[in-house]
Structure 1
Amino acid sequence: MKKSTLALAIALASAPALALEQGEHRFNAFGTLGVTYLGGEEDGRSFGIEGQTTDSWRGDQLSKFGAQLQYGLTDTLGVTVQLTAKADQDTWKGNLEWLYLSYQATDELMFRAGRLRTPIYMYSETLDVGYTYPWLRLPDEVYGQVQLTNYEGFDMVYNRGLPFGNLTFQVAVGQAKDRELFSADDQYDIDYDDVFAANIALSTDYGMVRVGYAESSLKDGFDLRPFDGNKGKFTSLGYQYDQGTVVVNAEATKRVIEGTAFPTLDAFYVMSGYHLGDFLPHLTYSQLDEEGTGRQSSWIAGLNYQLTPTVVLKSEYKRVDTSGGYAGQFVETRSEVITRAGRNALGLPTANYDGDIVSFGVEFVY
Structure 2
Amino acid sequence: MTAVRALSLAVACLAATPAFALDQGDYRFNGFGTLGFTHLGGEEDGRSYGIQGQTNDSWRGDQLSKFGAQFSYGLTDTLGVTVQATAKAEQDEWKANLEWAYLSWQADDNLMLRGGRLRSPVFMYSETLDVGYTYPWLRLPDEVYSLVQLTSYEGADAVYTLPLSYGSVTFQLAGGQAKDRDYYAYDDLHDMDYKDIFGASVSLASNDYGTLRVGYVEAALDSLIQGYVPSIDQTLPWLELRGAKGKFTSVGYQYDNGAWLTANEWVRRVIEGDGQQAIDAFYLMGGRRFGDFLAHLTYAQLDEQDGRQNSWTAGLNYQLRSTVVLKGEYKRVDTSGGSDGVFTRNAQEVFDNAMGAAPTRNYDGDIVSVGVDFVF
After TM superposition, is the score higher than 0.5? yes
Contact map agreement 1:311 1:364 (CA 8 A) in 2: yes
**Deviation string for 1:146-180 (max 9, x for gaps)?**
00000000000001110111101100000000000
Partner of 1:95: 97
Tell me how far apart the structure 2 counterparts of residues 122 and 327 of structure 1 sit (CA, whole Å).
Answer: 25
- Spell out, residue by residue over 1:281-320, the C-alpha distance to the aligned partner (whole angstroms, 9 max, x if none): 00000000002x1000000000000110000000000000
2-side partners of 1:124 and 1:266: how far apart? 18
Alignment of 1:311-326 (within 5 A): 311-326=324-339
Structure 1 residue 263 displacement after superposition? 3.1
Match of 1:283? 297
Partner in structure 2 of residue 207 of structure 1:
210
Per-residue displacement from partner, 1:188-216 (whole Å, max 9, x unpaired)? 00100000000000011101000000000
1:66 partnered with 2:68: yes
Shift of 1:94: 0.2
Between the aligned partners of 2:341 and 2:297, the Cα distance in structure 1 is 21
Distance 1:290 1:116 in 2: 30
1-structure distance, mates of 2:122, 2:347? 27
Aligned residue in 1 for 2:12: 11
1:264 to 272, 278, 285: 278
Counterpart-to-counterpart distance in 2, 1:212 and 1:342: 40
CA contact (8 A) 2:85 2:97 kept: yes
Matched, 1:248 2:238: no
Q: Which residue of 2 is the match for residue 155 of structure 1?
A: 157
Q: For residue 91 of structure 1, report the CA deviation from its aligned partner.
A: 0.7
Identical amino acids, percent of aligned pairs? 63
For 2:107, give the aligned amino acid: A
Of 13, 33, 36, the residue aligned with 1:34 is: 36
SS in 2 for 1:112: strand
- The one-letter amino acid paired with 1:232 is G
After the TM superposition, which residues 161-200 of structure 1 pair with which residues of structure 2 at under 5 Å, given as runs? 161-200=163-202
Q: Is the 8 A contact 1:294 1:322 kept in 2?
A: yes
**CA shift for structure 1 position 2:** 2.1
CA distance in 1, matches of 2:352, 2:281: 25
Q: Is the 8 A contact 1:158 1:169 kept in 2?
A: yes
The CA RMSD measured in Å over matched residues stands at 1.3
Runs of 5+ unmatched residues, structure 1: none
Q: Is the deviation greater in 6-15 or in 27-36?
A: 6-15
Alignment of 1:55-134 (within 5 A): 55-134=57-136
Q: How does 1:213-224 map to 2 (within 5 A)?
A: 213-223=216-226, 224=237
> What is the TM-score with the length of structure 1 in the denominator?
0.96
TM-score by length of 2: 0.94
**CA distance in 2: counterparts of 1:270 and 1:112, whole angstroms:** 32
TM-aligned CA deviation for residue 262 of structure 1: 3.1
For 1:222, what is the secondary structure of its paired residue?
strand
1:243: Cα distance to partner?
0.8
Quickly say closer, same or farther: Cα 1:341–1:2, change in 2 above 3 A: farther
Secondary structure in 2 aligned to 1:22? coil
- Equivalents in 2 of 1:338, 1:166: separation in Å? 52
Q: 1:133 to 1:97 in 2, by over 3 A?
A: same
Task: Confirm whether residue 310 of structure 1 aligns to residue 323 of structure 2.
Answer: yes
